[in-house]
Structure 1
Amino acid sequence: MWLGLGVFTLAGGAACAQPAPSATAIPAVPVAQGGEGGGGEGGIDPELAARDPVEFLVAMDVIAAHYAAGRDIYRLGEAQAAGEMFAHPISEVYAELEEVLARLRVTGFREQMERASTLALDRAPTPEVEQAVATVLAAVLAAEAHAPGAGAIPKVQALVIAAMADRAVEQYVLASAEPDRLEPYLDGYGLYRAAADRTARVAPALRDAQLGPVLTAIEAVLAALAPAYQTATLPTTPRIDPMPLAAAVTRLRETLN
């Protein structure tokens, strides 16, 4: 499915990806300043998403990540940050995928995304914003049934979780370099939440598909990430060492391969 395993290493406080000889691997996502894992808002390749289920579901999870993070930061009173989180994936993910979604017969949900952002920026009551977010997340989940290729089978979903966890680690490295800025940290928080939420949904299917060791490795990654992303707002405690986070992702990749 993927050529070239990205072995995640840390050097000089920055993340980098190096290829390793493997014929089936999690996609390595290069780190770029200001984005979740490079290439703008998530580095999604629309044409690849049209034919590859992992890329398609990662795109859906990048959208979901922004809405989970925006919802949680809105609950903490950060309306502007929430509205921006809701708006980012509209122009930088959804707009790029709109033709692909139509081709795959996915019911569009741009208007629902825009409504959530508008409500947040207008400081609407929290329950109203949460309902708007729930509508978007439901639309994202419904889109998964239209994933191309093999579809959202357990192995594909495990690869997606690993890719999202990898992005969360990379974003944590970037956020640690700018400890006073909320956005880089909040991006990573959302990526972590998306990985955790998908894991909660697919854990039974992974067990049924004889992927118990993979699930154990996924749970180890999430346990390593949990102290890094305890809350949607900037942490008050010192940042943790990202090396164990990267090591947990590497072990997951090895288990998947």
Structure 2
Amino acid sequence: MNSTLKLWTQLGLGTALAGGLLAACSGEAGTGEAGAGEAGIAPDTAATAGEGEGGAGEGEGSAAAGGEGEGGVATADAATDPVAYGIALAVAEAHVVAARDAYAAGKKDAAAEMFAHPVSEVLLDMDPAFAKLGVADMKPLFSAASEAALAGKSTAEVGKAYDAIIAALRGAATKAPKTDASSAKVATGVIADMIERASAMYRQLPTNDAYEPYLDGYGFARVAQTAFAANGAAIKAENAAAHTRITEALALLGKAYPGAARPATLPEQPGALSGASAKVMLAAGN
């Protein structure tokens, strides 16, 4: 309990703690994280996160169906809709990919925050869907990774915490709800969503010099690339137009987000990314 309380306090959650939201921390593993609620954004990032990750405008909230859940994920549909379910897992993965790479780049505090964010932004709202589908609670893994980053553990130790999260996310993916939609169709929907999220975060950057929006977008772009590498052949066989548009968009995103460290000058024009994302959405049937 003490280490978790210390972690959330250091991440700027003093108000949440004072409100008793982590009172259950001494119970089962994961209940402390469940208490974090919407306060999982440190004060110095709250202003930008409202526009990006949870806002109704650009960022995470703009791409997800229905705009439900703090991270703009349709968590209410996740137990029956494999695309909504896949998007929830992808948003969580994007954060930890960004966290791992930010940590390797020496951004300890940003990495700790990124490891912690999926708890409040996605996983809490996904609890009912996970319970229905038989997915074990993953929140303690995110908390442990965040603690390791905040404590300045070795890159190898943080990497092990990251690997544990990825293994849990991959396991959760095998329990996605079943529908008549093909795996290629589902993958296309998830990838299109990640591309739009990355594009939406990039649109903020010309007027927002904060690191977090860039790091969010970087994570979304990397997860889109990973998912496309795994599903590209199936997507091409089923929807060649979507395959072409995704390929084009990912090429632009690779240039726009060259690494976890934000470049001094933006390499791409936000409008180019927006246009590429719109073409992906159109080809995907969104």
- TM-score under structure 1 normalisation? 0.82
Structure 2 residue 280 is the aligned partner of structure 1 residue 252: yes
Instruction: State which of 164, 168, 173 in structure 1 corresponds to 2:198.
Output: 168
* Alpha carbons 1:174, 1:184 under 8 Å: kept: yes
Instruction: State which of 163, 166, 184 in structure 2 corresponds to 1:154.
Output: 184
Distance 1:42 1:175 in 2: 19
Unaligned 5+ segments in structure 1 are 1-28
Displacement of 1:30: 4.4
Measured against aligned partners, the alpha-carbon deviations of 1:15-36 in whole angstroms (never above 9, x if no partner) come to xxxxxxxxxxxxxx9425xx52
Instruction: State which of 234, 242, 247 in structure 2 corresponds to 1:219.
Output: 247
Structure 2 residue 132 is the aligned partner of structure 1 residue 108: no
Displacement of 1:77: 1.0
User: Using CA pairs below 8 Å that are at least 6 residues apart, which structure has the higher relative contact order?
Assistant: 1
* Alpha carbons 1:176, 1:239 under 8 Å: kept: no
Displacement of 1:239: 5.0
Indicate the structure with greater strand content.
Answer: 1
Q: How many residues were matched structurally?
A: 225
Paired letter, 1:159:
G
Instruction: State which of 60, 77, 95 in structure 2 corresponds to 1:36.
Output: 60
Q: 1:60-99 residue pairs with structure 2 within 5 A?
A: 60-99=89-128
Instruction: State which of 240, 245, 261 in structure 2 corresponds to 1:233.
Output: 261
Distance 1:152 1:232 in 2: 33
Q: 1:167-206 residue pairs with structure 2 within 5 A?
A: 167-179=197-209, 181-206=210-235
Paired letter, 2:197:
R
Displacement of 1:172: 0.8
Displacement of 1:71: 0.3
* Alpha carbons 2:94, 2:219 under 8 Å: kept: yes
Q: Percent identity?
A: 37
Displacement of 1:152: 6.8
Distance 1:48 1:192 in 2: 24
Indicate the structure with greater helix content.
Answer: 2
Distance 2:84 2:275 in 1: 23
